[in-house]
Amino acid sequence: MRKREKRERKKQDRGIVDFMMVTNHFFHALREWILEMDDPRNQSYITYTQADLGYMAILKNVCGQHSMREMDDNFNKETCIDTLRLMSGNRELTEMPHYDTLNYYLEKLSPDCLSDLRKKMVTSLIRGKQFNRNRLLRKYWRVILDGTGLFCFKEKHCDNCLCTEKQMPDGKKMKLYYHKVLEAKIVLSDNVVISLGTEFIENEKEDVEKQDCEINAAKRLLEKIKKDYPRLPICIQGDALYAAESMMELCRERYHWEYLFTQKETRQKVLDESYEWIKSGDGAEKIKGLCEEKGTACYANHVEEVAGKKEVMNVFEYEYETESKEGKTHTVRFRWISSLEVTKRNIEEMILAGRGRWKIENEGFNNQKNGLYRIEHLNSHNSNAMKNHYLLTQIADILMQLYLAWNPYIKELKQTIKNTSSGLLESFRGLAVTEEDVSYIFRYTTVYLE
């Protein structure tokens, strides 16, 4: 694209106006949902509505404002106040809320309110049927479990901190306090992978005998997901850490879901030996020329019968040759275990589903950590506010991903996500939203996603 064309195209990019249009298209009732939450504040002393504060927190995330102070400085403009007023619907709004006001509110608000808000958003996306064709085997929604560290401190931060002892280079032992979170992300399409559930990995109190861990958090998270989405057909995915029989039993027997985990010899040794044994006796199916790399797949169903296990364990693998920068060839291998039977017809889709999770691990959280939102930045030392900040980031991320999937400029202008969020900030600060924009935002339109 020519420089001039590029400038013309950039002019059409309306930034925050388009963001509001996409948000309104998918969630007409978002404002009402925010206002319906249980307001924890004393109603006689409040200046700002929950929608004022909620939208401001969403804007903080999508405009890439990492600290509360940075947000206060950048959002202190007439145009920002006007746009926020339009979003929140509070006609009496005359000032941007101060970050202390937001933090005070988030210290009091129950995180369940934001979880419920997210549930309403996810449910309406699923009901919209727009993403149905991306379900695994046309039936199952893929839900991916993934844990990540959030904060680490040298001193105790709160009573729920996880604690570890680390050997320092000088031989001394040092205690470290940290917080971790387990996310369940639902795959709506290749580029829309959003938060379905969150479980904080934390200790109930100080000095517990056994620290909370990812598997325990996963069990709590699965229970919540079943409660929130009782009839949703789900295939749970995760890395080898989750390939434990107790997890498989939970998925199959208790929740009637399917599973697809990365298989590692170290995690399921007997199963791996059984599979190798079947393969060596020509009992496994082999198919060549699959996927982009034209690699080779191999699979055997019901390996549990040989391994003497109770749960259904179908094993499949994929390998291809690749050349390194130095010109050396090496083989890349993947192996998975699933309750879904593998066939000649579905093997390619199963491989893509299994590998898809790499994308999430590498892009999803990285984006949240280093690029766009800096989830590791501590906005408040209060642990309730910390959870709410985290959940608001997930909610903002849903809106951001839909906006990115819709955005025709990003691809054409080869914009990075970071540039997109600074573009949103620029337009939020600089653009006076007109009557015409308002009717564009609220008009009923069809929104095409990539």
Please give the residue ranges that form the binding site for Zn ion (CB under 5 A).
157-158, 161
Q: How many CB atoms lie within 10 A of CB 112?
A: 11
Torsion 123-127-130-133 (CA) sign: positive
DSSP label at 342? P
Distance CA 65, CA 69 (A): 9
Question: Measured from the CB atom, is 25 or 180 closer to Zn ion?
Answer: 180
Question: Measured from the CB atom, is 201 or 307 closer to Zn ion?
Answer: 201
Q: Strand locations in 190-313, DSSP E?
A: 192-201, 234-238, 258-262, 285-290, 295-300
**Closest separation in Å from C-beta 401 to Zn ion:** 29
Question: Measured from the CB atom, is 151 or 255 closer to Zn ion?
Answer: 151
Q: Which residues are 145's β-sheet partners?
A: 184
Distance of CA 390 to the CA centre of its chain: 11
Question: Measured from the CB atom, is 37 or 176 closer to Zn ion?
Answer: 176
**Closest separation in Å from C-beta 179 to Zn ion:** 6
Distance CA 257, CA 183 (A): 18
**Closest separation in Å from C-beta 159 to Zn ion:** 7
Q: Residues 96, 84: contact at Cβ < 8 Å?
A: yes
**Closest separation in Å from C-beta 203 to Zn ion:** 9
**Closest separation in Å from C-beta 380 to Zn ion:** 12
Q: Residues 122, 194: contact at Cβ < 8 Å?
A: yes
Question: Measured from the CB atom, is 137 or 158 closer to Zn ion?
Answer: 158
SS3 223: helix
Question: Measured from the CB atom, is 244 or 378 closer to Zn ion?
Answer: 378
Q: Token digits for 134?
A: 């991306």
Query: Taking the CA of residue 383 as centre, how many other CA atoms within 13 Å lie in the half-sphere pointing to its CB?
Result: 18
Tell me the backbone φ, ψ of residue 4, rounded to 5 degrees.
-65, -45
Question: Measured from the CB atom, is 207 or 436 closer to Zn ion?
Answer: 207
**Closest separation in Å from C-beta 183 to Zn ion:** 18
**Closest separation in Å from C-beta 147 to Zn ion:** 16
Distance CA 272, CA 316 (A): 11
Distance CA 31, CA 116 (A): 14
Question: Measured from the CB atom, is 155 or 435 closer to Zn ion?
Answer: 155
Distance CA 57, CA 373 (A): 11
Distance CA 255, CA 43 (A): 41
Sorted by sequence, the CB contacts under 8 Å of residue 417 that are 6+ apart come out as 367, 371, 372, 404
Question: Measured from the CB atom, is 380 or 420 closer to Zn ion?
Answer: 380
**Closest separation in Å from C-beta 391 to Zn ion:** 17
**Closest separation in Å from C-beta 393 to Zn ion:** 18
